[in-house]
Amino acid sequence: MTKNILVTGGAGYIGSHTVVELIQHGFNPIVLDNFSNSRPSVIDSLEEITQQKIISVTGDCRDAAVYDLIFSKYKIDAVIHFAADKAVGESVQNPLKYFDNNLNGLMVLLAAMERHDVKHLVFSSSCTVYGNPDNVYVDENSPLKSPESPYGFTKLVGEQMLDNMVRHGKKMRVVLLRYFNPIGAHPSALIGERPQGIPNNLLPYITQTALGIRAELSVFGNDYDTIDGTCVRDYIHVCDVADAHVSALTLLSASPDSCIEAINIGTGKGTSVLEIIRIFERETGVSLNWKFAPRREGDVPEIYAKADKALHTLNWKATYSVSDAVKHAWEWEKKTQN
């Protein structure tokens, strides 16, 4: 029987790619999004890619009535909870916005799941919960650090709330996926990352600079104790991230009644900012205008995932290279700005 999966934030960057994977694996996704950081036209693009009608509900994750409507209409087997605000800088300016959307939103969802007896949840977490790690190659047992931003705090507290519920006997099956640095776009170039205003993240800043939308890329810091002085991250193709959610649903189906697992979603390899620039120039043939700039406050010098647990528990590993991801991000950017 086809499983119905509620995908909150399913029109967003990672959510939309996950909807494609879900359909390709025979699931029936039901998207819930308020389009605060995405456009309704994403749903049309999803229909074009999958050649299938997408069930989409416009609504807010903090609205209990929306869940009652969805859970009563469809027999939901599991929820993938992407919906959240994610701009680190904005969260410093306006922490309450983040506590409300990311934490209150999670609580309203959990209460609705309890009312409607839905027990399987995949929660979008982040490598931000490791803060600035003592060992840069982090596994899931690495200590969780005090987050650098209110955004990071909401991910840590979200994880802890879920852990607390399960530890105190709530019959829920939860997978916490800790994404590292998702980049790239769908190979069709029909969906991808679409930041509002000036991008904070490296890849959209690079592609917008290459197109002339931004004058110059600032490389934040060149004196870190890393391979070339610039920060190192574990960049992972968004389609690989999306695929991990399908594997997480399979794991939930085979898990004990009450369980919670945190799993890193990364490639296990680190790439520096200068290496990303070189890969971009090589893959696209476009020469990038960039300069060194002072360090960005709160940046972790180096972090990447130990991804063995994902392989063992999810039978998942990254299949795309960073070069593929950079190429796909470029194809998407060119198409979107046309």
Is residue 271 near ligand NAD by the rule CB under 6 A?
A: no
Count of residues that bind ligand NAD according to CB under 6 A: 26
**Residue 312 forms beta bridges with which residues?**
none
Is residue 218 a contact residue for ligand WQD (CB under 6 A)? Answer: yes
Encoding tokens for residue 292? 């060194």
Binders of ligand WQD in range 20-79 (CB under 6 A)? none
* Cβ closest to ligand WQD, residue 10 vs residue 147: 147
The residue from 98, 151, 205, 224 that is catalytic is 151
Strand 271-272, strand 232-233: pairing: antiparallel
Options 26-34, 138-146, 200-208, 244-252: segment touching ligand WQD (CB under 6 A): 200-208
The Cα 69–Cα 65 span in angstroms is 6
Task: Please list the residues that pair with 336 across neighbouring strands.
Answer: none
Residue 56 vs 284, nearer CB to ligand NAD: 56
Nearer to ligand WQD, 38 or 181 (CB): 181
Q: Is 137 a catalytic residue?
A: no
Residue with tokens 């605060």: 36
Using CB under 6 A, which of the segments 44-52, 59-67, 108-116, 314-322 binds ligand NAD? Answer: 59-67
Partner whose binding site includes residue 56, from ligand NAD, ligand WQD, none (CB under 5 to 8 Å by kind): none
Question: Is 175 near ligand WQD (CB under 6 A)?
Answer: no
Smaller CB distance to ligand NAD: residue 67 or 280?
67
Q: CB of residue 205 vs ligand WQD: minimum separation in angstroms?
A: 4
- Kindly state whether residue 112 participates in binding ligand NAD, applying the rule CB under 6 A: no
Alpha-carbon span 32 to 27, nearest angstrom: 16
Residue 314, Cβ neighbours under 10 Å: how many?
23
CB closer to ligand NAD out of 203 and 279: 203
195 neighbors 183 (Cβ within 8 angstroms)? no
Which residue, 28, 77, 35, is CA-closest to 57?
A: 35
- Which residue carries 């009535």 as its tokens? 65
Mention every residue, 6+ apart, whose C-beta is less than 8 A from residue 222: 228, 229, 230, 292
**Binding segment for ligand NAD among 77-85, 209-217, 243-251, 305-313 (CB under 6 A)?**
77-85
Applying CB under 6 A, what is the total number of residues that bind ligand WQD?
19
For ligand NAD, which residue of 4, 34, 208, 272 counts as binding (CB under 6 A)?
A: 34
Residue 223, class by beta-carbon neighbours within 10 Å (0-12 exposed, 13-18 middle, 19+ buried)? exposed
The residue (of 15 and 199) whose beta carbon lies closer to ligand NAD is: 15
| Strand blocks (E) in the chain | 4-8, 28-33, 55-58, 76-81, 120-126, 137-138, 173-179, 181-183, 217-220, 232-233, 235-237, 259-265, 271-272, 290-293, 304-305
168-207 residues in contact with ligand NAD (CB under 6 A) are 179, 182
Q: How far apart are CA 294 and CA 307, in angstroms?
A: 31
- Catalytic site positions: 151
Given the rule CB under 6 A, which residues bind ligand WQD?
86, 88, 126, 128, 152, 181, 200-202, 205, 217-220, 231, 233, 273, 296, 299
Given the rule CB under 6 A, which residues bind ligand NAD?
8-9, 11-15, 33-38, 60-62, 82-84, 86, 101, 105, 124, 126, 179, 182
